[in-house]
């Protein structure tokens, strides 16, 4: 009744102040702590980006090495967690497992319950960044019926994840440098994106004083949806459904038809009304990976042709619908052998640092208030209960 701003979908509501990430959707600019995503993707590795997001500045050599050592030293998960995995049906979606298992970490680290202690908050951040690749790879190994692979501290963050995914006891697995670089870049490009749905979920959960593992589990649950992180999986499923280049026009017409709920997955963005700068970097990486690995996959031909046709179509031009980062990351992930059901898990793994950086920033604010939106009530007026 005039007291609140009615803003469904939060199109015009700033929910907080933040110093972490800046986006100019009209210009297609994305900065983390002032550094452009293009520079970060080119010159920094994922762990340096994590440090920058968490602490606000680039690390010097010693700070970087210490950070890396700490992250590496926390990569093991408690052996008892294996029972959590074994409690899931074998055909469970790995995101279902991740929501459960990451939330379950709350039961293992009691010191993280006292979040008023800055040191405890920092340790929780390290634990999450370190353990996410291990848990993610375990969720895949479990679904594949293969033995879990322990983390290796001699490998880079990306190579260790790939090794835990693909190594089997019967054969030595060697990570190709091209694949390692592509994986690291996917992590970097998904590291943070200001107040998107999952980050806002983490902040809202955190505003009640919930522990960091529970907050990140809430973020993972939100990310799973196909309009958000689930888009990379949905995009590959769509490419499979299209199947061949000659069927693209049919799907383009369906995407334009207002009576058809179908949308081109991997296209459009709430904030970017210009090219998503992450997509530009990912597109480059995508072509590099496809060339270097010499991959011949008809699905990738469909993707490239779809991109070409959609970019020149007046509907997509007028509505400013460009391919987003997930259009290309799905193609790269497929090319490097990651199963489609793991795509959103990899997004969650990469975004954990962004979620935890926002949670940490919120916890460091002088005044904390529980997030509590209001509503416009449209139900029945008061009526007698007869
Ligand atoms: N295909 C066809 N039409 C589309 C699409 C699409 N992918 N995206 C938006 N539109 C149309 C939509 O129908 C609407 O048309 P009209 O004005 O005639 O009603 C107009 O464009 C604006 O769309 P909207 O749904 O109001 O825009 P939004 O900001 O609420 O939604 C979005 C953004 C990303 C949810 C949406 O573009 C979409 O559903 N894209 C496909 C899913 C996807 O790729 N999501 C990943 C986003 S990037 C990763 C992440 O941050 O999670």
Tell whether 327 is covered by a domain: yes
The answer on 303 and 170 residing in a single domain is no
User: Does ligand 1 have an atom closer than 6 angstroms to the CB of 269?
Assistant: yes
Is residue 223 within 8 A of residue 326, CB to CB? The reply is no
270 CA distance to ligand 1 centroid (A)?
Answer: 7
CA 4 to centroid of chain Cα atoms: 32
CA angle 345, 56, 223 (to 5 degrees): 20
CA 199 to centroid of chain Cα atoms: 10
Nearest Cα residue to 307 out of 337, 342, 272, 282: 282
The answer on 271 and 217 residing in a single domain is no
Tell whether 379 is covered by a domain: no
Domain count, the chain: 2
Mean pLDDT of the chain: 93
Higher-confidence residue: 214 or 111? 214
Q: In what order do the strands lie in the sheet with 29-32?
A: 21-24, 29-32, 35-36
Tell whether 381 is covered by a domain: no
What is the pLDDT, as a whole number, of residue 368?
86
Helices 298-311 and 231-242, axial angle in degrees (round to 10): 100
The answer on 111 and 206 residing in a single domain is yes
The answer on 270 and 162 residing in a single domain is no
User: Does ligand 1 have an atom closer than 6 angstroms to the CB of 159?
Assistant: no
Provide the CATH number for the domain around residue 304.
Answer: 1.10.230.10
Provide the CATH number for the domain around residue 187.
Answer: 1.10.580.10
Nearest Cα residue to 13 out of 266, 377, 356, 371: 371
**Which residue bears the tokens 């899931």?**
88
What is the domain range of residue 270?
Answer: 231-335
Higher-confidence residue: 286 or 315? 315
Flag whether pLDDT at 1 surpasses 80: no
The answer on 212 and 317 residing in a single domain is no
Is residue 360 within 8 A of residue 54, CB to CB? The reply is yes
Flag whether pLDDT at 171 surpasses 90: no
The answer on 70 and 218 residing in a single domain is yes
User: Does ligand 1 have an atom closer than 6 angstroms to the CB of 270?
Assistant: yes
Going by pLDDT thresholds of 50, 70 and 90, the confidence category of residue 216 is very high
264 CA distance to ligand 1 centroid (A)?
Answer: 8
The answer on 180 and 100 residing in a single domain is yes
- For residue range 70-104, list pLDDT tens digits in order: 999 999 999 999 999 999 999 999 999 999 999 99
The answer on 331 and 192 residing in a single domain is no
The pair of structure tokens assigned to 61 is 């050599």
The ipTM value here is 0.94
User: Does ligand 1 have an atom closer than 6 angstroms to the CB of 196?
Assistant: yes
- For residue range 109-143, list pLDDT tens digits in order: 988 778 888 899 999 999 999 999 999 999 999 99
Q: What is the DSSP string of 231-265?
A: HHHHHHHHHHHH-SGGGHHHHHHHHH-TTS----T
Whole-number Å distance between alpha carbons of 341 and 107: 27
Task: Using most ligand atoms within 8 A of CB, pick from 194, 219, 256, 268 the residue to mutate for ligand 1.
Answer: 268
Higher-confidence residue: 266 or 21? 21
Mean pLDDT of 318-345: 91
| Active site annotation includes 326 | yes
In this prediction the pTM is 0.92
For the CA of 276, the closest atom of ligand 1 is 48
Q: What percent of the chain has pLDDT over 70?
A: 99
Mean pLDDT of 11-25: 95
């Amino acid at each position: 009744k005039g007291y609140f701003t009615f803003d469904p979908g939060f199109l015009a509501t700033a929910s907080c102040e933040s110093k972490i990430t800046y986006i100019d959707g009209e210009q297609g600019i994305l900065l983390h702590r002032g550094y452009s995503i293009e520079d970060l993707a080119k010159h920094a590795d994922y762990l340096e980006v994590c440090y920058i997001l968490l602490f606000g500045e680039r690390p010097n050599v010693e700070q970087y090495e210490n950070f890396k050592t700490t992250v590496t030293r926390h990569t093991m998960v408690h052996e008892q967690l294996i029972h959590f995995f074994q409690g899931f049906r074998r055909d469970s979606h790995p995101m279902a497992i991740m929501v459960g298992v990451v939330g379950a970490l709350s039961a293992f680290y009691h010191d993280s319950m006292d979040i008023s202690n800055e040191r405890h908050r920092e340790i929780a951040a390290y634990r999450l960044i370190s353990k996410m690749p291990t848990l993610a790879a375990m969720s895949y190994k479990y679904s594949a019926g293969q033995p879990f692979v322990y983390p290796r501290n001699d490998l880079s963050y990306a190579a260790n994840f790939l090794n835990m995914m693909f190594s089997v006891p019967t054969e030595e697995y060697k990570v190709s440098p091209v694949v390692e670089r592509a994986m690291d870049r996917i992590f970097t490009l998904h590291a943070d994106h200001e107040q998107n749905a999952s980050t806002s979920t983490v902040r809202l959960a955190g505003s009640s004083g919930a522990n960091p593992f529970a907050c990140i589990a809430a973020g993972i649950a939100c990310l799973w949806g196909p309009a958000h992180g689930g888009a990379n999986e949905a995009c590959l499923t769509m490419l499979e459904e299209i199947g061949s280049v000659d069927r693209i026009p049919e799907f383009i017409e369906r995407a334009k038809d207002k009576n058809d709920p179908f949308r081109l997955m991997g296209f459009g963005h709430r904030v970017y009304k210009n090219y998503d700068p992450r997509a530009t970097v990912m597109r480059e990486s995508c072509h590099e990976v496809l060339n270097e690995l010499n991959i011949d996959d008809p699905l990738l031909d469909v993707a490239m042709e779809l991109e070409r046709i959609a970019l020149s179509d007046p509907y997509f031009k007028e509505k400013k619908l460009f391919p987003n980062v997930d259009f290309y990351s799905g193609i790269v992930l497929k090319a490097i052998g990651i199963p489609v059901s793991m795509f959103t898990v990899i997004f969650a793994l990469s975004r954990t640092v962004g979620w935890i950086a926002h949670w940490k920033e919120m916890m460091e604010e002088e005044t904390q208030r529980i997030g509590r939106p209001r509503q416009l009530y449209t139900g029945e007026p008061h009526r007698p209960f007869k």
